[in-house]
Structure 1
Amino acid sequence: MGTMGMRAAIALVVVGVTVAALAGCSGEVSDVERAEAKVSAKEDAVANAQDAFSAASDEFCDAAEGYIEALDRYGDVLEDTAPTVGDVRTAGADLAEPREDSLDGAQAAVDAQADLASAQQQLAEARAELAAAEAGPTGTPAPVDTTMPSTSALAPAATVDRVEQAESDFADASSDVTDDTPLSDASELFNSAAVALEMAWLRLFADAGCLADEQRQQAEAAVRAYTTALQQELATAGYYTGAADGIYGPLTVQAVESLQQAHGLPVTGTVDKATAEALQAELIALGGAAAQDAVTSTAAVQQTLKLTGFWDGPVDGVWTPELTEAVAALQVELGVEPTGTVDAATIAAFENAISGLQQATPTPSPSTSDG
């Protein structure tokens, strides 16, 4: 036999042995083994999807924090600009990129959550297939828990709606400002819209699980409780017609201004001691539940200061000179004008400080609960 013939014969033998070996291997892999391998692969896929979701969640929290900081800086520009707001309109462009980063980050987190849910579903199906393979064609498969983990929205729909409304209100306020608009005419409405937008994003920031420390969440809730209580009292007195949503926005500012005008007080849109007393006097005059609730706003201020270590007095709803001093001390700490009054700028600075504390600890993944 020639060299070519020998090579051909050897090749045929090798192919035959390989085919036989492969056939033997195929026959040795049982349905159970194949199902086990599939389950293992799906478990790896779930682990990878969970990692991707955690990473996307962290990126969203970082982007949202950057946007909140940009909004706060934008408010600072308003305070420093005079006599027109042309430079404020230019500075508004600084919000475009962080806003898009935040929205993109939110969408990426939602998509990653959907991928995780899909991977979990496939794993449940693979485990059911394994149970069937282990039972055999005539057996009864062992029960398999196919309950899927909760994949509710990253944040409540109401929180998302508030952000969308605040974004729209801010855009409207921006469009009303021209290069020739005096700052004195534009700043109040524009600043309150910016504050409302910042606070709405802070609410989303908290609801998405970006705040790790329970005490910071309690403090943030206390600030919102104060604003909500104020809105409810203003509504009872007939000055406020919006929702009691805890956001110190344009409607709240306008209601406070109307109250101040009615009592001949300086029209500032902020709640100082005289304004609080005027509101409480009206509620007491109304009697009943209104009188009982007259101390709610002041008590909320006291509770907020107590949580942050600036008030060691009683939470009794009585505004005293000592409470004014405590508010001023908090304002000094936050870097805002120490007026001793509670206004939108103070609330925004406080909530931004809560957000800033996040830099000191690792950012967790957003919670998937609706709470």
Structure 2
Amino acid sequence: MRPMPRFLGLALITATIAAGPAWAQAPAPLAFVQPLPTTSAMAVQERLREAGAYAGVADGVWGPESQMALDRFQQARGLAVTGSINLATAQALGVSLPRLLPPPVEAVAVAPVVAAPVVQLSPRAVRNVQLRLRALGFYQSAADGVWGAGTQTALERFQRGRGLEANGQINPTTVQALGLNPSNLEMAVR
């Protein structure tokens, strides 16, 4: 098995997951690697200092000295020298994994972006698309000839319903599926 690559500059948290069923031939492990936030790196450096493996300052900057200290700690404790902080190393250091992970990111409300069709459509062409979407039960608003959020959403729902790429864009395939004339969207459907 190849050794895991070493990442300098940041301490790492890893989790290994067995790939494949237990009865299969020695499956290759999958590894999830995540950089430590500065405060977590400081906590690890402090624990390594307390264990006598690190003589540097607990400043949260993960450099070669911190990395060598982690390797020495793992070796001294009989742990696999992985160069990263896995569950066994975190437990041996007395640091809980949730403490090492970055804080959750708060959700930020973002106003929806209404994408205009790639092709510039005249108000009459937009009105025809709206009328057709309305006739097919995908659009509920008035056909005003303005490409807005309602038109965008209706077109995307229509595309999904027809098994087309739901990108909200007017293209020849979508126009044909709508039953409109791909050569002239301004021509009304009868």
Q: TM-score range by the shorter chain?
A: 0.3 to 0.5
* Higher RCO (CA-CA < 8 Å; seq separation 6+): 1
More helix by share: 1
| Larger Rg belongs to | 1
More strand by share: 2
Structure-1-length-normalised TM-score: 0.19
Structure-2-length-normalised TM-score: 0.36
